[in-house]
Structure 1
Amino acid sequence: MKNQTRAADQETPTPATAGKQLPPHADLNLLRTFLAVHRTGSFTAAAPRLGLSQPTVTAQIRTLEQQMGRALFTRLPRGVDPTPYAHELAGQIAAPLDALAGLEDTAAAAGPVHLAGPSELLCVRVLPALAPLISEGVQLRVAQGLPEPLIEEMRGGRHDLVIATRHPRGRTWKSVPLADEEYVLVAAPTWAAPTGGHSQADDLCAALREVPMVTYAEDLPIIRRYWRTIFGKQHTARAAVTVPNLYAVLSAVNAGAGYSVLPRSLCQNDLDTGRLILLYDPEEAPLNTLFLLQRPGAETNPDVLRVRERLREAARTW
């Protein structure tokens, strides 16, 4: 009877070894390192959180993988992607380790929310939407830039939330579609005569060859996409004016420098007042989906969640 009892006890897994998740005598330091990498999606980003060097983090993860006899992360060109086993392990150990480290007490303490995105969108849409939260005590630290650099900075822990036109690889990244941005072909009314009266797209394209083009980049990313999507052809003209950003494009086009393709949100007021005109009004304008990205682990700051939900709510009207 005693032997039967011992056998039954051995077959009942304890929480620490359920499903053989943890090796015997698992090192808490290794598990803490594992959890930090899982939450940040990067050895590099986890290192300063742990007060360790990046090579030390890499070595500790390698040791834990050897102890467990399986890979925990898939190495990517930038960052890492947890395996399904790693997701299971993180779910098992997160709460006990957080409690052990006393994070339950500090998680309720709000700090500044580090938010980044395209400068034009931040000024026209984002900051006005978040203004009510400022009076409620939310602190913002806002940065602007292009998607690739901002995403790379987020991997390093610099930003909590990033608005970008794509979402990065890896299942650890939380991303939700925020809004679809419509792009329009516009010019000042002074160009109405040279470009007007063309019902056919080919005629309009031919007429625009005689009109100066304003852009923010020599490779014409927005204009080339518009031409490919709407007119079904490559745009081969060279820019007459290249400026640093879309605000400068809007200013130059408003002044009569030529035509361009702009986000409707940026130029809607000028269209409403007649300072700009639509040169073409397709049945379906090209759209660019904006994604709201959240850094793994940023949810420990409750104000990050408040900013995220406020942006999602406001974006319904964008």
Structure 2
Amino acid sequence: MPSVRVSGPNRRASHTSRAPQGAVCKEESGPLNPALLRTFVEVYRTGSFGKAAHRLHISQPAVTQQIRMLEERVGVPLFVRHATGSRPTPAAESLARDAEGAVDALDFVLQRYFGTDGPARPLRLGAPSDLISDRILPALADMLRDSVQLHTTLALSDALLSQLAAGELDIVIARVRPRLKGITALPLYDEECSLVASPETARDLAPILTAGEAPHVLSAYPLVAFAESVPLIDHYWWSVFHAPRSTAPDVVVPDHRAVLSAVRASVGITVVPTYLCADDFARGTLVPLLKPEIPPITTTYLATREGDVSRPQVSAAHNKLIACGRTWS
């Protein structure tokens, strides 16, 4: 959700003096300051007073004061603070369900007319590098020709989703299922993945590589991977061999094309989306080591923050990607 800087109440809350019994304080009888709900939603989404303060560009004591004022207004505790953050109470869960949409809508109006979130604001999109170049840029070509500004971030899916939740990105295409609070995700498309090697490596493996011995045989060859965490490779191992991967990656390169370059040079073996290997298979520069009867399939997701799809640029890009995703495999 875009960040809007808001000022705290002019009146300082006092914890040493209280209004006489039966008196109604001004804050409780007048209209609710929207800043209190804005702060509440940020604490709820981030799970931390400190993180909320950072996103709102105010001090942590100011966040604490505003939450305390809101708790006095509603008459119940909203958060239980602990060593690693803040846990919402059942009352906070109920309030968040009703308040998030209203706060998002107010943010959108303020940013559209007074902030940097209007039509001229760049669309901020994150995805793995191969998807940006091969699929996303062609899908959004019409928008880019219409002078829409696009800023892209290339990173691992978990890092991109964290940036999305923090309001630093508008759309993320992720190869893992998003599970963060406040994030909405739709399946974008399913893609096959293949275990590949250079022809030279494949010839060495061919005489001894059988389905039953495959995990043991393959563990002797260097594994080239996109990251230390390798969900694609793990998914292949479980789907085809019904066993966990037994070795850690030997070579880590955070770009699938660089991974393929290393494998072409007979550095080792890897698992990548099959569409990236189509030209290599045709030229014979890479070969699939196995051809499972049912190829492993992974799902790629299109993720946004709740409420952001109502923004015109995000909505247009979201719709184009969904339409193009139906043609991808």
What is the TM-score of this pair, normalised by structure 2?
0.73
1:311 CA drift (Å):
1.4
Whose helix fraction is larger, Structure 1's or Structure 2's?
Answer: 1
Q: For the Cα contact (< 8 Å) 2:165–2:183, is it kept in 1?
A: no
Distance 1:238 1:52 in 2: 43
Distance 1:154 1:282 in 2: 36
Query: What corresponds to 2:242 in structure 1?
Result: 232
Which of 170, 174, 180 is residue 169 of structure 1 equivalent to? 180
CA change 1:140–1:225 in 2 (3 A) is same
Q: AA paired with 1:263? A: P
**Are 2:68 and 1:62 equivalent residues in the alignment?**
yes
1:140 CA drift (Å):
0.5
CA change 1:305–1:257 in 2 (3 A) is same
CA change 1:72–1:221 in 2 (3 A) is same
Q: Which moved more, 1:76-85 or 1:161-170?
A: 76-85
Q: RMSD over aligned Cα, in angstroms?
A: 3.7
Distance 2:43 2:248 in 1: 46
Q: AA paired with 1:124? A: D
Q: AA paired with 2:32? A: D
Residue aligned with 1:201, SS:
coil
Q: Return the structure number with greater relative CO, CA threshold 8 A, min gap 6.
A: 1
**Are 2:48 and 1:37 equivalent residues in the alignment?**
no
1:219 CA drift (Å):
6.2
Total equivalences in the alignment? 294
CA change 1:63–1:167 in 2 (3 A) is same
1:134 CA drift (Å):
0.4
CA change 1:191–1:246 in 2 (3 A) is same
Which of 274, 278, 281 is residue 271 of structure 1 equivalent to? 281
Q: What's the % identity of the aligned pairs?
A: 34
CA change 1:200–1:73 in 2 (3 A) is same
**Are 2:86 and 1:86 equivalent residues in the alignment?**
no
Distance 2:277 2:306 in 1: 35
Query: What corresponds to 1:109 in structure 2?
Result: 119
- For structure 1, the 5+ residue unaligned runs are 1-21
Deviations 1:112-145 (A, max 9, x none): 0111122222222222222221001211110111
Q: AA paired with 1:121? A: L
1:93 CA drift (Å):
7.4
Residue aligned with 1:142, SS:
strand
CA change 1:44–1:150 in 2 (3 A) is farther
Q: For the Cα contact (< 8 Å) 1:109–1:301, is it kept in 2?
A: no
Q: For the Cα contact (< 8 Å) 1:110–1:301, is it kept in 2?
A: no
Which of 213, 218, 232 is residue 208 of structure 1 equivalent to? 218
- For structure 2, the 5+ residue unaligned runs are 1-26
Q: For the Cα contact (< 8 Å) 1:23–1:67, is it kept in 2?
A: yes
Query: What corresponds to 2:313 in structure 1?
Result: 303
Which of 244, 247, 260 is residue 250 of structure 1 equivalent to? 260
Q: AA paired with 1:223? A: I
**Are 2:141 and 1:131 equivalent residues in the alignment?**
yes
Query: What corresponds to 2:296 in structure 1?
Result: 286
